[in-house]
Amino acid sequence: MTNIADWEGGVGRNWAAQWRRTDATFAQLTPRLLNAIAAEPGRRVVDIGCGAGEVSLAVARARPQAQVIGVDVSPDLVDAARGRAGALPNLSFELADASSWTSPQGAPDLYVSRHGVMFFPDPPAAFAHLASVAAPDARLVFTCFRAAKENAWATGIANLLPPAEVPSLPFPPGPFAFADPEHVRRCLKGWRDLAFTPVDFAYVAGEGEHAVAEAMALFQRIGPSAFALRTLPEAERATFEKRLLEFVEAHHQGGQVTFPAAAWLITATSDHDDG
């Protein structure tokens, strides 16, 4: 279970170091998200959990008259995003927790996020805050994973690991925290007109001449497999890594290592008004 503290520390550092690989995993999903964003108005845009900044950069380039701010809790990811942005005049990045942060550039009229909203410890409070500081009828567009069983990379790796004890929390954070639409509706306090569009895509773990090695490098540094390799006893670690390699090789075809993946594309409208 990944939480904000993890993103502030080692998880954020690993994602920052591997941003090219992690961007590649979403290569088939990101255009769908950007198309949905392009259909929305907005001149003050905030990217929640912006990571290394791929979506923020794309939105800022597509809307030169808009002001775009990427917000993330990881200092390493914010540094990586700033390095990619260069001197783009309408784009900036803030090291902050979006659940309590207020934009210095005025009330946002469009929030966006690629898989960056599932880690709030108190999602209803976080989304209520986002709505309260937004412009009237502000729009929200984000993606998140659907159920783990619909994401073969996740279930496959989980099957290689011993069962993990999951803490009992009312809103457990993590990559699959927003898989259930009813749970998302409970979390999106302050928002209305929720719409859920399922998106199926190929999760690209590695490609090119060394696709298997690329996929192994990804899984050795990112996600539950990376945690296992850091924490399992040596004998178990060697066995797990061997089985992980077999799993990756089984999904290598045509110069790519890919896995069936499933996401929600979710849109909503702020209930906040000036009245």
Nearest Cα residue to 189 out of 126, 99, 267, 100: 126
What is the pLDDT at residue 274?
Answer: 55
Average pLDDT over residues 1-10: 78
Query: 261, 151 in Cβ contact below 8 A?
Result: yes
Q: With the C-alpha atoms ordered 249, 252, 258, 259, is the resulting torsion angle positive or negative?
A: negative
Residue-range domain boundaries for the chain: 4-149+165-204+261-270
For 98-139, how does the pLDDT look when each residue is reduced to its tens digit (9 = 90+)? 999 999 889 999 999 999 999 999 999 999 999 999 999 999
Indicate the Cα dihedral angle 79, 127, 140, 29, nearest 10°: 60
What is the pLDDT at residue 273?
Answer: 62
Nearest Cα residue to 84 out of 75, 73, 96, 92: 92
For tokens 């009229």, name the residue.
109
For tokens 């490609």, name the residue.
207
Domain 4-149+165-204+261-270 has CATH 3.40.50.720: no
**Confidence category of residue 4, pLDDT binned at 50, 70, 90:** confident
Q: Which residue type occupies 127? A: F
What is the pLDDT at residue 172?
Answer: 86
What is the pLDDT at residue 165?
Answer: 67
Indicate the Cα dihedral angle 51, 150, 174, 178, nearest 10°: 90
**Confidence category of residue 87, pLDDT binned at 50, 70, 90:** confident
- 3-class DSSP state for residue 230? helix
What is the pLDDT at residue 1?
Answer: 58
- Given a cut of 80, is residue 152 above it in pLDDT? yes
Residues 247 and 185: their CA atoms lie apart, in Å, by: 35
Average pLDDT over residues 10-31: 94
Which residues, 6 or more positions from 112, have their beta carbon under 8 angstroms from its beta carbon?
Answer: 33, 37, 45, 46, 47, 48, 55, 59, 140, 141, 142
- Given a cut of 90, is residue 272 above it in pLDDT? no
- Given a cut of 70, is residue 61 above it in pLDDT? yes
β-strands 44-48, 67-72 pairing = parallel
Where does the chain have alpha helices with state H? 4-8, 10-17, 19-25, 30-38, 54-62, 75-85, 123-132, 152-160, 181-187, 211-221, 223-231, 234-250
For tokens 């950007």, name the residue.
34
Tokens of 40: 């929305």
Which residues, 6 or more positions from 81, have their beta carbon under 8 angstroms from its beta carbon?
Answer: 50, 51, 52, 53, 56, 57, 70, 72, 93
What is the pLDDT at residue 167?
Answer: 66
Average pLDDT over residues 3-24: 89
Average pLDDT over residues 8-34: 94
- Given a cut of 90, is residue 251 above it in pLDDT? yes
Average pLDDT over residues 240-269: 97
